[in-house]
Amino acid sequence: MALIFCSRTDDPKEWRAEFAEVMPELDFRVWPDIGRPEEIEFALVWDPMANRLLDFPNLRLIASLGAGVDHLLAATTLPDGVPMTRFVDDNLTQGMREWVLLYSLYCLRRVPEYLARQREQDWHRLDVPFAYQRRVGMMGLGILGEASASALRHIGFPVIGWSRGKKDLPEIECFTGAGELDDFLALSDILVCLLPLTPETEGIIDSELLTKLPRGACLINGARGSLVVEADLIQALESGHLSHAVLDVTRKEPLPADDPLWQARNITITPHVASVTNAKSGARLIAKNIRRIQAGETPHHLVDPKAGY
Ligand code: NDP
Ligand code: OXD
């Protein structure tokens, strides 16, 4: 029973050690040392190998190392009928919840302005609102969006959310689909994006959408860079319509040295670290799905290829 591991960011040594503990019978192979391809039954992937999955004729599971599966669905050659799973893990959710709380408070408490003033040795107060005076709009109310929204609600922000299907969440006003997007945007002082990247959502955060936010709004994108039209975002920051943007993700990663985002005004960039896949808990949840497949059961957290997430 062999698994092929392929990731541009995750450390194979760490994952090998965790699988050795939790599933010692598993033959853990690391791309490109695949051995005999017909022995590979499970693939654990983040990005670069997606176009090579047809090389394994006996594949029974394609497990994404990320919650987002756009990297897999963008591949032109995916084997038919092999179940594909998202990465859904309490540690990943905790990481995102912390990142969203951190940067929502960072925007609320005007930290970027204080940091700029510190560089000028400027000791003055700014007016700062309470959380209950600024509404957060959460785009995407899935595993990560819902957990982050409820944490924001817990510290006093009024929170609204937007998703594809109708939701009913405690203390969070929920908006649904394209028909309710404008009403949702008009109320969002801090817009947090935790949508998956799909053909429907690509480029959704463009100048038209940004104009519908209240003047002075902030954008926090922890999802995927290609959801945002970056030139439109820079323009909205330049004009002052947006007061700040926090991006953990960008269209090109790593962000090239000459990308205008680096120099844009009022922007904070983190290098795709909002929440990082954890090998200890991750190996356990993948092993659980492998055992389900061996028992003839359906794995947890299946991707719906039609919906794109
Ligand atoms: P989920 O699949 O659980 O949730 C996705 C949410 O987006 C759902 O509420 C879904 O609606 C909504 N949605 C999807 N398409 C649309 C649409 N066209 N219009 C409106 N709403 C839509 O995903 P997760 O919460 O687990 O993850 C979200 C994303 O976060 C991932 O896809 C990934 O890109 C990103 N991510 C980033 C990380 C980082 O470190 N920066 C780490 C982990 C994830 P519905 O509920 O109706 O299905
Ligand atoms: C993910 C990510 O999708 O790390 O999990 O971006």
Q: Compute the distance from residue 140 Cα to the ligand 2 centre, in Å.
A: 14
- Considering the candidates 52, 97, 134, 224, report the single residue annotated as catalytic: 224
Residue 148 and residue 97 in contact, taking contact as beta carbons nearer than 8 Å: yes
Q: Which atom of ligand 2 is nearest to the CA of 87?
A: 5
Q: Which atom of ligand 1 is nearest to the CA of 88?
A: 26
Amino acid occupying residue 156: G
Q: Domain range spanning residue 32?
A: 2-89+277-294
pLDDT tens figures, 210-237: 999 999 999 999 999 999 999 999 999 9
| 185 plus 64 within the same structural domain | no
Q: What percent of the chain has pLDDT over 90?
A: 96
Q: What percent of the chain has pLDDT over 70?
A: 100
Amino acid occupying residue 130: F
The pLDDT, as a whole number, for residue 173 is 98
Average per-residue pLDDT in the chain? 97
Closest residue by CA, ligand 2 atom 4: 66
Q: Compute the distance from residue 266 Cα to the ligand 2 centre, in Å.
A: 25
- The whole-model pTM stands at 0.97
Separation of alpha carbons 135 and 118, rounded Å: 28
The pLDDT, as a whole number, for residue 266 is 97
Cβ-based neighbours of 75, under 8 Å, separated by 6 or more: 50, 51, 53
| 63 plus 198 within the same structural domain | no
| 253 plus 127 within the same structural domain | yes
pLDDT tens figures, 139-154: 999 999 999 999 999 9
| 129 plus 179 within the same structural domain | yes
Is 224 a catalytic site residue?
yes
| 99 plus 244 within the same structural domain | yes
- CATH code: domain of residue 40: 3.40.50.720
In short, whether 66's Cβ falls inside 6 Å of ligand 2 is yes
Separation of alpha carbons 155 and 194, rounded Å: 19
- Considering the candidates 117, 272, 284, 291, report the single residue annotated as catalytic: 272
Asked whether residue 160 is assigned to any structural domain, the reply reads yes
